[in-house]
Amino acid sequence: MRVLSNDDVDLLLTMPECIAELELMYADYADGRALLVPRVDNLSPSTEPDSYYAFKQMGGAWPRKRVQALRINSDIIIHPLVEGKRRRVKRPRANGRWVGLVFLFSSESGALIGIFPDGAMQRLRVGATNGIALKHLARDDARTLAIIGSGWQAGGQLMAALVARPFARVRIFSPRAESRERFAATAQARHPGVDIRAVDNAEECVAGADVIMAATSSLVRVLEPAWLKPGVHLSCIKTQEVEQTLLDGCDRVVVHVSAQPKQFDNVMANTPNLAAERESGWWNAPGNRFAEYPELAQLVAGRVAGRSRREDITCFVNNIGVGLQFAAVGALVLAKAVAAGLGHEVPDEWFSEDVHP
């Protein structure tokens, strides 16, 4: 059994590999050859009165790679008021750190084969997912990219976009000048062949863009209907970034998963602060506004058409993550770690038993 760190994951995984592995997984999923373990959020009281405890679980089995993944997040949640609005924040109470873990099992032997934190992979898989959508939906000659957002997820979006298309120009906007300038400078240094600049407002950012990617933590819409120009492709990483009006103006909308639009909430009766949770906008509205849209897996497998005309307006909504992504990328990173001798080995016998329970 091998324990990896976020650094190991970052060191071992490249975005092109991540994209290739996830595409293969989505094609299998479209054929019924991968199993999604639905997401469940279990909410119960923690010890501090202004918080509660959230234990999230999701997973998936991918027989082709003989792997079952279980990803958990074990979080103390608070809802501070930020500029008059409730925000959902995870308190780092584990010695100042957060707890999100991926457990990998072999579906050939049953054994627990790996454990690693979810952070580095979380960003890679979100980036890769939107990158795959971009590859299948954007114009082949797309060369100008607009990114709204300059945080951690925005970096993953840029990496994936540059794998999917040879962008020549990238424009970045986010509300805080310091943040967008720093993001642009770092990205420019990493990709000297691309013209990467931060700009002062969203309109300047999207002007002339072939692709517009939202990658924010916003709880209100980011993608504006006015940006729907012929031939453009748009994407977002959360449902709040996009409103129905915009989707209605697109020629083709694809979502990540339509079968499981939101988590299942398993809530203990007297869990405190759930009003603040709802107020924070984190809980999805009831109903499934994405049920009728085709899924990314169907697009990858060629079951639904992508862009049919040059002037089509396309949009990808990464509406929810799935644990299957951790099975696919996790199996890849673990195989690479074993080959490279990276990570900590822990005796296998500690995680199996000689009784048949």
Interface with a second copy in residues 240-279 (CB under 8 A): 266-270
49 binds a second copy (CB under 8 A): no
140 binds a second copy (CB under 8 A): no
* Total of residues contacting a second copy (CB under 8 A): 76
Contacts to a second copy from residues 143-172, by CB under 8 A:
152
Residue 338 φ/ψ, nearest 5 degrees: -65, -45
Instruction: Show Cβ contacts of residue 58 under 8 Å, excluding neighbours closer than 6 positions.
Output: 37, 38, 39, 40, 70, 71, 321, 322, 323, 326
44 binds a second copy (CB under 8 A): yes
The interface mask with a second copy, positions 6-35, x = CB under 8 A, is x-------------------------xxxx
DSSP result, 302-339: TSS----STT--EEEE-----THHHHHHHHHHHHHHHH
Among 63, 225, 281, 294, binds a second copy (CB under 8 A): 63
- Bridge partners of residue 283, in order along the sequence: none
Part of the chain binding a second copy (CB under 8 A), chosen from 16-24, 69-77, 219-227, 281-289? 69-77
Q: Which is nearer to a second copy, 109 or 201 (CB)?
A: 109
Part of the chain binding a second copy (CB under 8 A), chosen from 52-60, 170-178, 227-235, 310-318? 52-60
Q: Is 83 left (phi over 0), alpha (psi -120 to 50) or beta?
A: left
Chain centroid, CA 220 distance in Å? 18
339 binds a second copy (CB under 8 A): no
Among 40, 304, 335, 338, binds a second copy (CB under 8 A): 40
Contacts to a second copy from residues 268-327, by CB under 8 A:
268-270
Residue 231 φ/ψ, nearest 5 degrees: 85, -5
